[in-house]
Amino acid sequence: MTDPHRPGTATPPATVGEGCVQRYDPEALTEEDGTEFPGAAELWERVQQGEVNAPEKPLRK
């Protein structure tokens, strides 16, 4: 934070598309955006091979 007297704010990254196809612009994302999940590719591979069952229902209601 460059100005210690300025209150913290959150701003989403730029988006592309509209409506149900709206998503974050991958070219505008930086290391500060999102979460770190280094095992995502390996997990997805295991799900595709049937080693891990994908949830049938969403985790949140």
Q: Which is it for strands 23-24 and 15-16: parallel, antiparallel or unpaired? A: antiparallel
* pLDDT tens, position by position, 7-61: 777 788 899 999 999 999 989 888 777 777 888 889 888 888 888 776 676 666 5
DSSP code per residue over 26-51: GGG--TTSS---TTHHHHHHHHHTTS
- Per-residue pLDDT, 16: 94
pTM of the model: 0.40
CA distance 34 to 59: 19
The CA-atom distances, in angstroms, between 30 and each of 41, 49, 58 are 19, 31, 28
